[in-house]
C-alpha cells in the first residue's frame, strides 16, 4: 500500500510537504486551499511512471474532470527553472521486489555465495520509495525527468540521472549512484572470504579491472566475489573491510530516466570493456545487471502496479440518461464523472448488486436496485408479424424465434415505501451522487480511491452513515479512501467509532485510530501547508482544530 506522498514545487506546494495515507484519509480545508492538488499529484505521478507523459494535460484516470494544463501550469509560481519533486512511499512488508533475468545462464558463482544469499537482504525490506524530479530542460527545450531515485527502508539506494552534457541534440541517462553500503546488506564485521584482483587475471578483461579500480573500487582493494552477489557492498583490503564508492557512471541505452517496467536495465555493455569469447565474464556482468535492476526497476514497478488500481471520482457525478447503454468493458476515464460506476453495475454478477443494496440499506436512503432483463422485438421480425396476424402459436417455432432476440438489461430503483419502479432520472440528485461512492468502495481492489466531496447533495443522516460505509470496506480488504470533504458529520461518526472501540463497545463498525488520517490543508503566503491532526484512542483530536472552519 502507498503510505506517504511527498510533494515539492507542485502547483501551490513550494517546500516539501508530506501527507500520510491511512485506510481512511480525510482532507479538510477552505475552498481553494489545495486539497484537490494532492489528488492531482497522484494523477501526475501516474502519468509520469505509467505513460511517461511528463508534460500532460489530460490524464488516464481524470477524464474530462482533470486538466493539468502542462508543466508550466504545474510548477510552483509557473517558474520553469524550478523542478517538480514527487516521492511516493509504499509498505511492502508482505511483498517482495520483482526479479529480472537475462537470457544467459550464470551459475558459475553460486558455489561461492551459499552463506550470503541475496534473499537474506530482500527479506529485510519493509518500505520502498520512488522519487522523481521533473524539470524543464533548457538545452533540449522539453520537459524531462532529470532524476529517478529509489529508496529502501527510507535510505537512498539508487539514482538514474539525465546527463546534461549533450552535444548532438540527444539526451543521455546513466545510473549515477548505487548505495553499496546500504544497511540491508551484510555488516562490516562479518568474516567474508575475499579474492585478490590478481586472481581475476585471465578471466576478466583488463579494461573491466581498470573500470572497477576507477569507478567502483580503490586501487589497493580486494574484490569480494561473494559480496558482489549481495550487490558488492564491500571490498576488502588485507587489513580491513572498506566501503565501495557509491558514485557510478553507468550509461543506459534509454530515452528517459524512468525505467521500462518488467525489463532489465539497458546498461551499455561497452562500459565494462569487451571480451566476446569470455562467457564467464558476460555471465558475471549479466548477473550484476539483474541484481541492479531489482533495486532500481523493482520499486518503480511495484508503485506502477499500485497506481494502475488508482481510481478517481470527481466532485460532480453525472446521472445516466434514460437510454443509457453501458460500455461492455468499464473505462477508467468514465469513472471521473461517475458513468463508469453504472458500467460496472451492469457488468457485474447479481451478487455485486446485492452488496450495493446492502450498503444502500446501511445508508438508509430508502431505495434499492433491481436489474430486469428484456428481449428486443423488432417491428419487422417474423415473430412480430406473426403476433400481429394472430398466428404466433400456429405457424412458427416460438422458442427458436425468441432466442434470436437481443437481450437488454435495465436498472431500476425500487422505492422501499411505495414499491414502485423508478429510473435514476426520476429521483433526487442526492441518490445519483451517492451511488458512485458506494460502487467505487465495493469495487476497489487496492491502492487509492480518491473521491471529491463524497457527501455531495446528501443530507446529514446519510453523511453520518458514510463513515460506517468506509469502515465496513477497510475491514475486509487493503485499500485507501482519500476523501476531500467538508463534512463535519462524517468525521464525527469516525471519531465516535474510535471512542466506542476504546470503550470496548460491541459494534459492526469498529475503528482504531491507526486506520484514520485527518489532514488540514491551507494555502499560505509560503505555499500550501499540510497539518496532520492526530486522534487519540478516545476519539479526540490532540491538536486544536484550525479556527474558522467548524464551530
Q: What is the pLDDT of residue 179?
A: 81
pLDDT confidence bin for 277, thresholds 50/70/90? low
- pLDDT tier, 446 (very low <50, low <70, confident <90, very high otherwise): low
Percent of the chain residues topping a pLDDT of 70: 78
Q: What is the mean pLDDT of residues 86-112?
A: 75
pLDDT score of 395: 57
Question: 152 with 295: CB under 8 angstroms?
Answer: yes
pLDDT greater at residue 158 or residue 197: 158
Which is more confidently placed, 194 or 448? 448
Model confidence at 284, pLDDT cuts 50, 70, 90, reads: low
Instruction: Compute the distance between CA of residue 20 and CA of residue 3 in angstroms, rounded to an integer.
Output: 6
Please tell me the distance from the alpha carbon of residue 233 to that of residue 219, in angstroms, as a whole number: 16
Which of 71-85, 300-314, 376-390, 464-478 is the least confident region?
Answer: 376-390
pLDDT of residue 104: 60
For the cut 80, the answer to whether the pLDDT of residue 93 exceeds it is: yes
Q: How confident is the model at residue 223 (pLDDT cuts 50, 70, 90)?
A: very low
For residues 77 and 191, which has the higher predicted lDDT (pLDDT)?
Answer: 77
Q: What is the pLDDT of residue 20?
A: 96
Torsion of CA 533, 535, 540, 545, to 10 degrees: 0
Secondary element (H or E) of residue 49 = helix 35-51
Task: Specify the pLDDT at position 243.
Answer: 36
**Quick check: 182 and 166 in contact, CB under 8 A?**
no
pLDDT score of 229 more than 70: no
Quick check: 393 pLDDT over 70? no
- How far is it, in rounded angstroms, from Cα 194 to Cα 192? 6
- Structure confidence at residue 278 (pLDDT): 60
Q: Grid coordinates representing 303?
A: 508503485
| pLDDT score recorded for residue 168 | 64
pLDDT above 50 (res 529): yes
Confidence band of 120 (pLDDT split at 50, 70, 90): low
Q: What does the radius of gyration of the chain's CA atoms come to, in whole angstroms?
A: 29
pLDDT at 249: 75
Residues with Cβ within 8 Å of 369's Cβ and at least 6 positions away in sequence, in order, are 345, 353, 356, 357, 360, 411, 412, 413, 414
Q: Is the dihedral of CA 294, 297, 303, 307 positive or negative?
A: negative
Q: At what angle do helices 429-443 and 460-476 cross, to 10 degrees?
A: 10
Q: Please, which pLDDT band fits residue 164 given cuts at 50, 70 and 90?
A: low
Distances (CA, A) of 96 to 49, 91, 127, 446, 500: 20, 10, 10, 17, 37
User: Between these two residues, 287 and 11, which has the higher pLDDT value?
Assistant: 11
Contact between 549 and 31 (Cβ < 8 Å): no
Dist CA 39 CA 521 (whole Å): 12
For residue 281, the model assigns a pLDDT of 60
Q: Which three cell numbers stand for residue 135?
A: 524539470
pLDDT at 443 > cutoff 90 = no
Q: What is the pLDDT of residue 470?
A: 96
**What pLDDT was estimated at residue 378?**
83
State the alpha helices, DSSP H only, in 255-366. Answer: 279-307, 339-347, 350-363
Rounded Cα distance between 174 and 163, Å, is 7
Q: How far is the C-alpha of 296 from the C-alpha of 265, rounded, in Å? A: 8
The x, y and z cell numbers of residue 77, run together, are 509560481
Q: Is the predicted pLDDT of residue 130 greater than 80, yes or no? A: yes
Amino acid at each position: 500500500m502507498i503510505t506517504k506522498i511527498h510533494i515539492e514545487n507542485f502547483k501551490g506546494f513550494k517546500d516539501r510537504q508530506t501527507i500520510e495515507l491511512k485506510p481512511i484519509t480525510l482532507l479538510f480545508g477552505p475552498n481553494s486551499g489545495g486539497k484537490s492538488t494532492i489528488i492531482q499529484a497522484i494523477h501526475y505521478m501516474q502519468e509520469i511512471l505509467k505513460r511517461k507523459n511528463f508534460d500532460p494535460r489530460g490524464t488516464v484516470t481524470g477524464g474530462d474532470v482533470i486538466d493539468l494544463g502542462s508543466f508550466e501550469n504545474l510548477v510552483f509560481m509557473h517558474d520553469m527553472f524550478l523542478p517538480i519533486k514527487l516521492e511516493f512511499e509504499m509498505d511492502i512488508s508482505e511483498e517482495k521486489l520483482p526479479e529480472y533475468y537475462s537470457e544467459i545462464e550464470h551459475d558459475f558463482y553460486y558455489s561461492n555465495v551459499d552463506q550470503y544469499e541475496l534473499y537474506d537482504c530482500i527479506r529485510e525490506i519493509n518500505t520502498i520509495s520512488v522519487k522523481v524530479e521533473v524539470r524543464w530542460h533548457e538545452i533540449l527545450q522539453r520537459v524531462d525527468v532529470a532524476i529517478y531515485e529509489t529508496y529502501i527502508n527510507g535510505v537512498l539506494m539508487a539514482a538514474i540521472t539525465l546527463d546534461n552534457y549533450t552535444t548532438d541534440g540527444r539526451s543521455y541517462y546513466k545510473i549515477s549512484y548505487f548505495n553499496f553500503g546500504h544497511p540491508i546488506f551484510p555488516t562490516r564485521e562479518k568474516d567474508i572470504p575475499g579474492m585478490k584482483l590478481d586472481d581475476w587475471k585471465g578471466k576478466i578483461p583488463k579494461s573491466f579491472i581498470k573500470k572497477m579500480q576507477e569507478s567502483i573500487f580503490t586501487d589497493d582493494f580486494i574484490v569480494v566475489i561473494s559480496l558482489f552477489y549481495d550487490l558488492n557492498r564491500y571490498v576488502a583490503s588485507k587489513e580491513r573491510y572498506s566501503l565501495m564508492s557509491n558514485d557510478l557512471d553507468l550509461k543506459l541505452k534509454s530515452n528517459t530516466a524512468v525505467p521500462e517496467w518488467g525489463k532489465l536495465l539497458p546498461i551499455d555493455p561497452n562500459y565494462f570493456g569487451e571480451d566476446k569469447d569470455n562467457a564467464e565474464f558476460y555471465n558475471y556482468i549479466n548477473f550484476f545487471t539483474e541484481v541492479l535492476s531489482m533495486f532500481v526497476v523493482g520499486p518503480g514497478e511495484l508503485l506502477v502496479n499500485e497506481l494502475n488500481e488508482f481510481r478517481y471520482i470527481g466532485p460532480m457525478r453525472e446521472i445516466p440518461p434514460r437510454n443509457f447503454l453501458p460500455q461492455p468493458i468499464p473505462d477508467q476515464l468514465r469513472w471521473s464523472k461517475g458513468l463508469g460506476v453504472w458500467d460496472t453495475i451492469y457488468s457485474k454478477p447479481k451478487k455485486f448488486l446485492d452488496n450495493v443494496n446492502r450498503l444502500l440499506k446501511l445508508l438508509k436512503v430508502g431505495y434499492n436496485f433491481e436489474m430486469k432483463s428484456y428481449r428486443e422485438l423488432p417491428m419487422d421480425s417474423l415473430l412480430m408479424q406473426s403476433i400481429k396476424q394472430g398466428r404466433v402459436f400456429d405457424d412458427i417455432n416460438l422458442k427458436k424465434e425468441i432466442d434470436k432476440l437481443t437481450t437488454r438489461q435495465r436498472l431500476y430503483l425500487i422505492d422501499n415505501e411505495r414499491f414502485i419502479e423508478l429510473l435514476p432520472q426520476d429521483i433526487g440528485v442526492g441518490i445519483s451522487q451517492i451511488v458512485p461512492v458506494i460502487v467505487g468502495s465495493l469495487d476497489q481492489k487496492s491502492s487509492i480511491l480518491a473521491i471529491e466531496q463524497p457527501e455531495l447533495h446528501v443530507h446529514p443522516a446519510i453523511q453520518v452513515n458514510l463513515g460506517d460505509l468506509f469502515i465496513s470496506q477497510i475491514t475486509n480488504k487493503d485499500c485507501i479512501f482519500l476523501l476531500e470533504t467538508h463534512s463535519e458529520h462524517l468525521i464525527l461518526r469516525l471519531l465516535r467509532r474510535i471512542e466506542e472501540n476504546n470503550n470496548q463497545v460491541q459494534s459492526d463498525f469498529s475503528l482504531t485510530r491507526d486506520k484514520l488520517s485527518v489532514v488540514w490543508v491551507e494555502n499560505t503566503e509560503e505555499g500550501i501547508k499540510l497539518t496532520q491532526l492526530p486522534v487519540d484512542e478516545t476519539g479526540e483530536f490532540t491538536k486544536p482544530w484550525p479556527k474558522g472552519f467548524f464551530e
